Amino acid sequence: MDVQIRIKGDTRILSSGDAVSGNVQIFCAHPTTIFKLTANLIGESRSSLTGAPGLLFSRREEEKHIIMRDQHHIVPDMHTPKPNRLEAVQLGVGCHSFDFCLRIPWVQECSTCPLNTPVGSPDEKDIIISSSRQQLPPSMSGLEKGTEIAYRVEVAVTTIKNMFKSKTSKTCPITIWPLDMELGQRDFKPASSIATTTARATILGPSSLPLTSQILSNDTYGLAPAEILISAQVRSNFQLIQSTSTPSKHRKIAMNLSVIRLNHHPQDLYLQSFQMLLVGYTDIQAGAASHGQMTFWTLQSLSNIGLQIFTASDASGKQREINSRLWDSVVLDDSVVPDFETCNLARRYELEVLMGWQCRSGEHAGRVFLVQVRTPVRISSGILTGRQGIKAVSGSTKDDLQLTQGCHEMQSLRNDDQRFSAPPTYEEAVRAAVNDGLKGFGTRNTGGR
């Protein structure tokens, strides 16, 4: 007997509220009796670390949390009357197909840690998730060995032969990312929720020297250094987003950078280099052991830009915006997962911007001084709730609508107390085809002229 799982629709990235439907295909080489057939949707958060050293070697600490589970009983059908519920299904030689429909919950529910289970029903469609800890964490791997967040569809087939039972399991991995609950904030616009991170810098000119306060008060030749204030404006809870305006749906960076001139300096100020680095912090907990891991992504690195920000005639207090084209082309690949938190794993991010500034006066140029701006950011998936039809059905794709419709049809069958009967066996299908052929043959004119 061979078991295979076929999932319908586009399953590249699923999210909360999505229906996972498909069929289980069972290939029987001889008549088989199915006692039990179930389809399960399981999400696990696993961690593994080397703990305190033992007598002979260091002990490996492992921890596993079941953060999501949904089950569909195919055989026996739980909606059939109890006297007929324990009836087994006889399968003949050939291929047999059984449909299933599972639903991804809205929030994570850790069955391993009941105290951390979020309050409220996960089936509410209008649920507003205010804490990232409640949301489903994204599928993630590639960290420490044995540390990952994985989702899968698991099918278990229990057969019976001569009063002995045997169980066969088959799994199919799927990818799940959390929803973005910040509706209508896909485009970056200044608002009261914007957090501002500032950095003050002193840029020496071509002829700048360490001067005393008395000389600085009488400075008329521009020997004093230029002072600027760099401001990075980012949203406090929605900063790196996925753009839905392009077919490729690349996730882009939403940020504003501005510079204020704090003193009058008769030299031009140029931006010579621009680097952008994303730092990911992963907190891993396994038993008594804990570990923090850092991951770096270089998003942008530009040198010899020569972008003039201030001229010598600009007055003190002048503010200029840095052109966003320096980072508009930056995209985030799938290795940058949304930030999350589970019972044993957590991921958070910081964005670091490193800029090189230089003062110029004619052909003379000073040294390039690097200024760093670092701020916490939140990585989001860009998957809006409208895709599941929570707020608007128009936001659903064709695949989503077909998937949801198929799930509703199966649910209506369950409510009508109709049992999923087994498909015809190979012998029955051949016998039916032969009978149809004989009927057609009997209606033909076989006589000669």
Among 2.60.40, 1.10.1420, 1.10.8, 2.70.70, what is the CATH number of 194-382?
A: 2.60.40
Pairing of strands 340-341, 345-361: antiparallel
Tell me phi and psi for residue 362, to 5 degrees: 70, -125
Mean of the pLDDT values across residues 75-87? 66
Q: How far apart are CA 436 and CA 438, in angstroms?
A: 5
Residues 6+ apart with CB under 8 A from 447: none
Q: Mean pLDDT score of the chain, rounded to an integer?
A: 76
In terms of pLDDT, which residue wins out, 152 or 187?
152
Question: Across-strand partners of 257?
Answer: 232
Q: Is it the case that residue 311 has pLDDT exceeding 80?
A: yes
Residues 6+ apart with CB under 8 A from 364: 206, 207
DSSP character at residue 44 = E
Delimiting residues of CATH 2.60.40.640 domain(s) in the chain: 2-179+388-438
**pLDDT for the residue 109:** 86
Question: Across-strand partners of 180?
Answer: 384
242: nearest Cα among 295, 182, 320: 182
**What's the token pair of residue 228?**
């600027």
227: left (phi over 0), alpha (psi -120 to 50) or beta: beta
Provide the whole-model pTM. Answer: 0.71
Q: Are residues 387 and 395 in contact, defined by beta-carbon separation less than 8 angstroms?
A: yes
Confidence of residue 445 (pLDDT cuts 50, 70, 90): very low
Question: Across-strand partners of 104?
Answer: none
How far from each other are the two terminal CA atoms of the chain, in whole angstroms? 54
Q: Are residues 269 and 410 in contact, defined by beta-carbon separation less than 8 angstroms?
A: no
Q: How far apart are CA 278 and CA 316, in angstroms?
A: 33
**pLDDT for the residue 282:** 94
Of the listed ranges 67-76, 129-138, 433-442, the one predicted with least confidence? 433-442
253: nearest Cα among 265, 242, 268, 262: 242
Q: How far apart are CA 346 and CA 137, in angstroms?
A: 9
Of the listed ranges 56-60, 290-294, 376-380, the one predicted with least confidence? 56-60
Q: How far apart are CA 311 and CA 239, in angstroms?
A: 32
Tell me phi and psi for residue 191, to 5 degrees: -150, 175
In terms of pLDDT, which residue wins out, 118 or 142?
142
**pLDDT for the residue 328:** 82
pLDDT tens-digit map of 242-290: 544 443 445 667 788 999 999 888 889 999 999 999 999 999 999 888 8
Q: Are residues 160 and 32 in contact, defined by beta-carbon separation less than 8 angstroms?
A: no
Q: Which residues of 305-338 are buried (b: 16+ CB within 10 A; e: fewer)?
A: eeeebbeeebeeeeebebeeebbeebbbeeebbb
How many other CB atoms sit within 10 Å of the CB of residue 368?
16
CATH topology for the 2-179+388-438 domain: Immunoglobulin-like (2.60.40)
Q: Are residues 154 and 171 in contact, defined by beta-carbon separation less than 8 angstroms?
A: yes
Q: Is it the case that residue 419 has pLDDT exceeding 90?
A: no
